[in-house]
Structure 1
Amino acid sequence: MHQILITGATGFVGSALAANFLARGTRVLAVSRNDPDGMRTINAVVAAAQGFGLDIHGALADHLDVVNVDFAHLEDVLDDARLAGVTEVWHVAAEMSYSARKLSQSFATNVGNTSRLYETLCRNAPACRRFYYVSTAYVAGMDGGFVKEELHARSHMINTYQMTKWSAEQSLHLLFHRHGLPVTLFRPSIVVGHRRTGWALRNGFGFYMFPNAMVAAAQSGLKELAVDVVADSRLDCIAIDQLAADACTLTLRQQQGGDFEVFHCSGGCTTRLEELVHMWGEVAGLRAALGTPTSELELKFDRAVEPNRPFANQVWLFDRSRLDAATERSTPLAPLSLEELRAMCVWYADDAAAEQAAVAEAN
């Protein structure tokens, strides 16, 4: 019987993993912050299950345990009694900020807490077989091109999130050689909504930064928007349901892989960025085209998306052949089409409108 410890279960990826493991009859120990009664975690996992079309109500009482942890006291709470049955760990929780002002906090969270959690499992979880770490494919740096599933000894990185994720990978590599608990680095590319339902967590991060900012521009009265990006660039997007399927298959596989694994959970690239810009504009209710921003609102939009512009303007080809082999995938994964991405953005925009209406009604 598997019991999987998951951090970050209130977030997009973590809640999706928890819901999918529960739907497969697997026990989940969710480690959360600022959740003394566990309801924030439970609500997030239930919302993810609904977004996936999964029925987990029977599993919630029997298979989900929530532990409220202040990471300052991590070692005291996650003692050997609490961790005795844990067989695998998915460490998803992270500080997502790009800001250099949060560099110290991000290192403490993404590197320090990751290392402490790994060492705590090594001491207190004798049944634990593997530590899965959710990193990012963009630890590869900004050069683009073909990227192998391997540790990167050096990378040209431009933000705090990249840098601390890269550092966490290096730290885990060193700790693995010291303690021996097998590690899998699981690197998603750009995580988007559910391929069938469109469900996503509305956090405005990554892919959704662009349509979010366009909706705000349209609500401010803008009818036409000049967007300064590279026309022929392409984004590598992975649907949350594919990510969850890959993660579950890896965790529940019969044959354990190598002691230190690196996998890209990527979706491939087909749609030109210019097509995405047009589509985002249509969904937001304005005409978006490539060009140089000039008006005050266009410049405001330009500043809003600046953190992700370098990633939008570069093309990476993330090799996922090792992940496909480990999950026994026999056919190549089909990249998301423009129409599938459009449906996700429509769902996201409709969900945003529904939330705004609910807030307005409550007030």
Structure 2
Amino acid sequence: MIVFVVLMLCTVFTIEFARSEYQTNWITDIKLSHADELLFAVSRDGTLKIWDLDSGVLLNAVMVHEDWVLSVDYHPGTKMLVTGSADNTARIWRLDTGNASVELVRTLSGHEDWVSTVVFAQDGKRVITGSDDGTVRIWDTASGERWGQILEHGAWVNDVFITADERYLVTGSADGVVRIWNLARGELVRSLRGHNSSVERVSVISDGEKIVSASTDRSVKIWEFDTGSVLRNLTGHDGGVLAFVVSDDESELVTVDSPGQIRFWDLEGIGGMPKSIRAFGDKGHGDWILAIDMTADRRHLVTGSADGTIRLWRTDDQQEPLAVLIGWSDGEFFSYRYDVGWVGSERSTERLLTINGKRIEDLGEALSTLNLLGETDDHERRILILLI
């Protein structure tokens, strides 16, 4: 079966195709590069995929580990990628933005369990890795040598955030504790206790004054950095909160959970009280949402899920995803710029029989002239049919 997608301003419809094994291929992490207009996604099949955000074309798919890839980060200044894997290593890659190819620079070895989170320092000179072995390690990007102390946690480390001034690390771990570390001295500054189960994501906002943490206890907490006191406890999710993103202007927080719900929070609420302004996702992912990112203009979200798909959402539309990237068949594409898309097949009039109860009689000839994707198996397809 040949399937293709073309993108145009239109109305959204959804068609279901036959079920397949892609749902077992979790999308474990995604990252947007606003500077280079790229979307990076990693999966448990060991691959890294790169899309062009302007055209929506899938530029490259490459096997970067022999086991699950759990985390990815990109440094636009150095054009370097780092990936963390269940093979207990992190790998640094050099990206050629001209053709989206990647070259292995070095492998960082030393962890004794899965490398669950990776992040570049602001200047790109260091990489920080967190592992299920209960440690955080800092590495020199140029040499691959370990830098400073090994930071012991005694529990799986799920996320690491480095402050803008590179003085502190904030970590979240499976014991429910958020920890602040002095990076230069390798010393624990403060432990923030309040979550009842695993802390999945952490971030620092408000020029280093506040910490945001998300937990499988279904809550998001906002902490005062200097004192460790809880400023706000955000509740409302029906399952564990697995990831979040803060808008570049820090006016909005978007959280996602294990049932697949996406919830928006106004961080500039009355009296500084964040409030949930809307939630959507009922017609979205069919499984845990594991990763989320937001475009710089705050108009679109990208989410990655254990259902094997990446979905593109308009932030002002609670009904349907704008595009669905099955993503693990060569050549699929989308575009967030034009809010658009067509979908069809080589046997278009057989596959696309009705839209709102009406036959598509006149699209077959036009659609059959396009051949934008290669052959696929009978994969389940949540395909967006978008017509003017």
Q: Specify the TM-score bucket, using the shorter chain as the normaliser.
A: under 0.3
TM-score, scaled to structure 1: 0.27
Kindly indicate which of the two structures has a greater share of residues assigned to helix.
Answer: 1
Greater relative contact order (Cα < 8 A, sep 6+): 2
TM-score, scaled to structure 2: 0.26
